[in-house]
Amino acid sequence: MRLNIGGLTPFTTIDFPGHLAAVVFLQGCSWRCSYCHNPHLLEVDKQGDNWEMLQNFLEQRRGFLDGVVLSGGEPLLQSGLAAAIANIKAMGFKVALHTAGSNPHRLEQHLTTLDWVGLDIKTSFKNYPKLTGVTASGDKVRQSLALLVASDVDYEVRTTIDPNFFTRAAVLELAEMLMTAGVTHYAVQECRPVENYKVESPSLLLDPSLLAQLEGMFDHFTLRYS
Ligand code: SF4
């Protein structure tokens, strides 16, 4: 079993709601989003295999952690993902997945084995190619969203509100689309500037009337400052 790990956060209370968890950042992503916060994770070290390191780490965390979050990069690209999920669960931990929804086929394969999924919806489906640099990327996310909403798995749909891409109207339009698609758990978070990527416009999330409107559209709405 091969697992290519690019980073590890040993303890978090916010990445797997209701759980004390570690976050494992897996290498590889087929997209190139302009505001990517993890550019060092985009390529895979094909010779690398870090499962044993993770196993040793988790052995020492039994009784302290409830869960493990598999994040990235795009964790669904890992060939060893199914085995990793099964092994982590066999050690007594719950497993959550963070995904950008770029691979609905693989999401479907793993969905029933997961305890929770955080799906990023970055922008309207039609604007995805502009953000990711990949044609038809929005169609993949649309399929992933439909799979997730139709499943029995607990989830959260999340959007990073980048003022370079969003207007107030666009935030509401996206939220309405998500509500119509059946999303019940929605979170929005600030976009943090990274090296070579500036966020010049003021945050839309400081607008209380916008937040009130969003709150009214979903059973569970979360505002997160990342
Ligand atoms: S999907 Fe995520 S990891 Fe991949 S390029 Fe976009 S922001 Fe970075």
Residue 31 CA, ligand 1 centroid: distance in Å: 6
Residue 74: CB within 6 Å of ligand 1? yes
Q: What pLDDT digit, counting tens, does each position of 23-73 carry?
A: 999 999 999 988 788 888 899 887 778 899 999 999 999 999 999 999 999
* Ligand 1 pocket: which of 25, 38, 97, 123 to mutate (most atoms within 8 A of CB): 38
Ligand 1 centroid from CA 99, angstroms: 9
Among 4, 23, 25, 33, the mutation site with the greatest number of ligand 1 atoms within 8 A of its Cβ is 33
Of the candidate CATH numbers 3.20.20.70, 3.40.50.1980, 3.90.190.20, 3.60.20.10, the domain formed by 5-224 belongs to 3.20.20.70
| Domain residue spans of the chain | 5-224
What are the phi and psi torsion angles at 126 (to 5°)? Answer: -70, -25
Q: Cα(154) to centroid of ligand 1, in Å?
A: 22
Q: Which of 24, 25, 29 to mutate to test the pocket of ligand 1 (most atoms within 8 A of CB)?
A: 29
Residue 39 CA: nearest ligand 1 atom is 8
107 with 99: CB under 8 angstroms? Answer: yes
The rounded Å distance from CA 176 to ligand 1 centre is 24
**Ligand 1 atom at shortest distance from the alpha carbon of 102:** 1
**Average pLDDT of 13-21?**
95
- pLDDT value at 198 more than 80: no
Q: Which residue has the higher pLDDT, 140 or 198?
A: 140
What are the tens digits of pLDDT across the range 4-16?
999 999 999 999 9
Q: What is the pLDDT of residues 157-172, one digit of tens each?
A: 999 988 777 889 999 9
Q: Whose CA is nearest to atom 3 of ligand 1?
A: 73
Q: Ligand 1: distance of its center to the CA of 62 in Å?
A: 31
Q: Cβ(38) to ligand 1 under 6 A?
A: yes
Kindly state if the Cβ of 29 falls inside 6 Å of ligand 1.
yes
Whether residue 194 has pLDDT greater than 80: no
